[in-house]
């Protein structure tokens, strides 16, 4: 799409065929036609019918917001949406790509549901224990039997990274035939930009006869510039989850799922397609779909924009290092056996070392300086420099160095201070059965030995400590109460903030 000629206030008619953004252009063409719309959406693209929406979003957006199943857009043979899918598959090296309108969360649920129908129902799925909650939800939805492999943990920062090839090999070692996994799920890159050795993980998965699913929610830009890590599909992953709206530049909630040219593809493709139908709205948003088409094209042509963002991120890291007060978290990555590379567009800063807690730093930078960091932990703040973004690095560095410097800020809330993570209790029910069972809330002291009805994850480091179907242990209760009692710690899924109550399966 030629954005030079695109005036957001006037609808441009565009040729719907042979363009690099077929769906987006066809949508523009459709919106430009002189029509009387007597169909949904309810605003009918009529600024008089919906003056509030038109005033807020502009008339242009209303005209582009169209329902599905329109000839010339997404209906019939070789329609523009189908061509947009093919172009995306080509760009990412996929056999097939699905455009999703409910985020990478939907992609993870689709992946789990597809695995439910793949091979024998009794075969387990091996998942990184720190799987995103949407994959755990998929385990519940699909009635999967999970087995877990631990990611590496940085106790100092209280964060988790990825799975090393050795850890995956160990998890697979000596499994009897009936326990061989039907699929393996890992995350790469991590929230902090740590990239796992996907090629080695894929080899190990394939030796075990299982497809490798890579949750690359944070890596939608990978492979589009020589200084970025490679796209997991090019490294042997069989199915790749991409949260395209994160660093791929599409609108929030749009995402893609890519099926590789894999030896499992013939079996997986119809299962994924059915799971897609089960999870996608029957009124998928034309705005989100068009944004995926445009973002993919921009990424393919984005060499210079990506390069500029990488240079800005590098400048930010260098200036922070040279300042001497803070440190860069990725400079410590070589200590971890799972980390093969890092995403240059993530800048994770150890601010506790400079006398300010991560959450305080993030809030002050927002309130005082109008500088928004993506996330904060107790010790760090993390910046995402998206392709095309060249921030005012000096302003950021100045604001960082103006943060209060309290020599008493220590790293006592990291995992090192909290002690080792307790081993998960035994899985005695399928997560789905436990999740759907009647549950009761009982005092912590009575919960030991009972089966959890829900997932609980202590932060730091955000790894689920218990999942539905697992037995609650004494060590688990103690650990969760200890985390809940620290000022920076909290337990996701907790029924009460101090963890005095647990939700367990009602066995009566």
Residues at the interface with ligand PLP (CB under 6 A): 103-105, 108, 132, 134, 187, 191, 215, 217, 243, 255
Q: How far is CA 327 from the centre of its chain?
A: 26
CA distance 463 to 459: 8
- 53 vs 131 by CB, closer to ligand PLP: 131
Nearest approach, Cβ of 105 to ligand PLP (angstroms)? 3
Nearest approach, Cβ of 78 to ligand PLP (angstroms)? 29
Sorted by sequence, the CB contacts under 8 Å of residue 375 that are 6+ apart come out as 191, 362, 381, 382
- 307 vs 462 by CB, closer to ligand PLP: 462
Token digits for 14? 């565009």
- 21 vs 188 by CB, closer to ligand PLP: 188
Closest chain position to ligand PLP (CB): 103
- 60 vs 109 by CB, closer to ligand PLP: 109
Nearest approach, Cβ of 131 to ligand PLP (angstroms)? 8
Nearest approach, Cβ of 103 to ligand PLP (angstroms)? 2
In contact, 457 and 411? CB cutoff 8 Å: no
- 105 vs 379 by CB, closer to ligand PLP: 105
- Strand, coil or helix: what is 503? strand
CA distance 379 to 360: 10
- 22 vs 103 by CB, closer to ligand PLP: 103
Long-range contacts of 355-358 (CB under 8 A, 24+ apart): 355/325, 355/403, 355/404, 355/405, 355/406, 355/407, 355/409, 356/403, 356/404, 356/405, 356/406, 356/409, 357/409, 357/488
In contact, 66 and 286? CB cutoff 8 Å: yes
- 123 vs 279 by CB, closer to ligand PLP: 279
CA distance 241 to 211: 14
Nearest approach, Cβ of 218 to ligand PLP (angstroms)? 6
Residue-wise DSSP of 226-285: TTSPPPGGGGT-SEEEE-HHHHS---TT-EEEEE-S-TTHHHHHHHHHHHHHHHS-TT--
In contact, 181 and 125? CB cutoff 8 Å: yes
- 255 vs 316 by CB, closer to ligand PLP: 255
- 134 vs 160 by CB, closer to ligand PLP: 134
Nearest approach, Cβ of 143 to ligand PLP (angstroms)? 21
Residue-wise DSSP of 175-224: --GGG--SEEEEE-S-TT-EEE-HHHHHHHHHHTT-PEEEE-TT-TTTTS
Nearest approach, Cβ of 107 to ligand PLP (angstroms)? 7
Nearest approach, Cβ of 325 to ligand PLP (angstroms)? 29
Nearest approach, Cβ of 244 to ligand PLP (angstroms)? 8
Annotate 346-365 with b (16+ C-beta within 10 A) or e (fewer): bbbbbbbebbbbbbbbbebb
């Amino acid at each position: 799409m030629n954005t030079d000629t695109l005036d957001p206030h006037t609808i441009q008619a565009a040729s719907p065929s042979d363009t690099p953004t077929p769906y987006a252009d066809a949508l523009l063409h459709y919106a430009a036609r002189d029509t009387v719309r007597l169909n949904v959406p309810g605003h009918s693209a009529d600024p008089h019918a919906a003056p509030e929406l038109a005033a807020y979003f502009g008339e242009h957006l209303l005209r582009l917001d169209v329902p599905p199943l329109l000839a010339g857009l997404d209906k019939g043979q070789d329609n523009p949406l189908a061509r947009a899918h093919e172009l995306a598959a080509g760009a990412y090296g996929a056999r097939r790509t699905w455009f999703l309108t409910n985020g990478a969360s939907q992609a993870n649920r689709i992946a789990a549901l597809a695995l439910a129908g793949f091979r024998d129902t009794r075969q387990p799925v091996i998942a990184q224990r720190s799987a995103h909650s949407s994959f755990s939800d998929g385990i519940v939805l699909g009635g999967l039997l999970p087995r877990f492999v631990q990611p590496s943990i940085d106790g100092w920062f209280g964060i988790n990274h990825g799975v090393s090839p050795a850890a995956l090999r160990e998890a697979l070692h000596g499994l009897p035939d009936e326990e061989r996994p039907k699929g393996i799920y890992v995350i790469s890159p991590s929230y902090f930009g740590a990239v796992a050795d996907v090629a080695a993980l894929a080899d190990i998965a394939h030796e075990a006869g299982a497809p490798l699913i890579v949750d690359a929610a944070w890596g939608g830009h990978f492979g589009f510039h020589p200084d970025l890590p490679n796209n997991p599909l090019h490294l042997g992953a069989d199915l790749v989850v991409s949260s395209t709206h994160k660093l791929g530049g599409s609108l929030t909630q749009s995402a893609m799922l890519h099926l590789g040219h894999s030896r499992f593809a013939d079996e997986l493709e119809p299962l994924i397609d059915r799971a897609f139908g089960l999870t996608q709205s029957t009124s998928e948003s034309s705005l989100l779909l068009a944004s995926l088409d445009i973002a993919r094209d921009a990424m393919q042509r984005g060499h210079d924009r990506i390069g500029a963002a990488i240079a800005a991120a590098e400048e930010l890291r260098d200036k922070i290092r040279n300042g001497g007060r803070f440190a860069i978290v990725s400079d410590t990555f070589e200590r971890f056996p799972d980390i093969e590379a890092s995403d240059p567009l993530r800048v994770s800063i150890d601010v506790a070392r400079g006398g300010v807690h991560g959450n305080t730093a993030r809030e002050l930078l927002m309130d005082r300086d109008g500088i928004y960091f993506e996330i904060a932990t107790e010790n760090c703040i993390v910046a995402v420099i998206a392709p095309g973004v060249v921030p005012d690095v000096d302003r950021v560095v100045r604001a960082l160095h103006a943060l209060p410097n309290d020599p008493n800020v220590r790293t006592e809330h990291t995992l090192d201070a909290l002690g080792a993570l307790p081993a998960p209790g035994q899985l005695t029910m399928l997560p789905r059965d436990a999740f759907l069972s009647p549950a009761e809330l009982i005092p912590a002291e009575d919960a030991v030995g009972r089966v959890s009805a829900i997932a609980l994850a202590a932060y730091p480091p955000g790894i689920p400590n218990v999942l539905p179907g697992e037995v609650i242990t004494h060590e688990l209760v103690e650990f969760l109460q200890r985390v809940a009692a620290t000022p920076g710690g909290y337990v996701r899924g907790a029924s009460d903030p101090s963890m005095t109550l647990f939700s367990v399966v009602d066995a009566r």
